C-alpha cells in the first residue's frame, strides 16, 4: 500500500507473505511463515526477509515495489496445472 507516513520512508507499507495456516516447525516459523518480505518496522529495522527455519530476519535492499514483488513471486513454489 502506498503511504506517506514517516514510518515508511520508501513510500510503501507491505508484507509479501508465503506460509501455512498451521505452523509446522521447522518447515515454518512459529507464525506459519515460510518466506516473507516486509517493512513493518522500516524506520527502525529497514526492509526484511524472513525465511524458515531461521527465526532471525535478513536485511535486504528495497529495489522498488514491482521489482520486490517479482523477486518474491519467483522465489515461492507454484502449483503445476495439468491440462487434459
Q: What's the confidence (pLDDT) of residue 82?
A: 63
Q: What is the tally of structural domains in the chain?
A: 1
Q: How confident is the model at residue 81 (pLDDT cuts 50, 70, 90)?
A: low
Q: What is the mean pLDDT of the chain?
A: 94
Q: Is residue 71 part of a domain?
A: no
Instruction: Retrieve residue 54's grid coordinates.
Output: 531461521
Mean pLDDT calculated for residue range 51-80 = 95
Return d(Cα 52, Cα 69) in angstroms, integer: 19
Q: Are residues 14 and 65 in contact, defined by beta-carbon separation less than 8 angstroms?
A: yes
Domain enclosing residue 21, as ranges: 1-61
Q: How confident is the model at residue 31 (pLDDT cuts 50, 70, 90)?
A: very high
Beta bridge partners of 47: 60
Mean pLDDT calculated for residue range 56-83 = 91
- Taking the model in full, what pTM does it have? 0.89
Q: Is residue 36 part of a domain?
A: yes
Q: What's the confidence (pLDDT) of residue 58?
A: 97
Rounded to 5 degrees, φ, ψ at 66 are: -65, -45
Q: Are residues 47 and 10 in contact, defined by beta-carbon separation less than 8 angstroms?
A: yes
Amino acid at each position: 500500500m502506498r503511504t506517506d507516513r514517516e514510518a515508511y520512508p520508501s513510500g510503501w507499507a507491505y508484507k509479501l507473505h508465503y506460509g501455512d495456516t498451521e505452523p509446522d516447525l521447522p518447515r515454518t516459523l512459529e507464525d506459519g511463515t515460510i518466506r516473507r518480505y516486509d517493512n513493518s518496522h522500516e524506520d527502525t529495522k529497514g526492509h526484511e526477509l524472513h525465511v524458515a527455519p531461521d527465526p532471525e530476519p535478513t536485511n535486504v535492499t528495497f529495489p522498488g515495489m514491482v521489482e520486490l514483488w517479482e523477486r518474491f513471486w519467483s522465489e515461492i513454489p507454484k502449483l503445476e496445472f495439468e491440462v487434459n
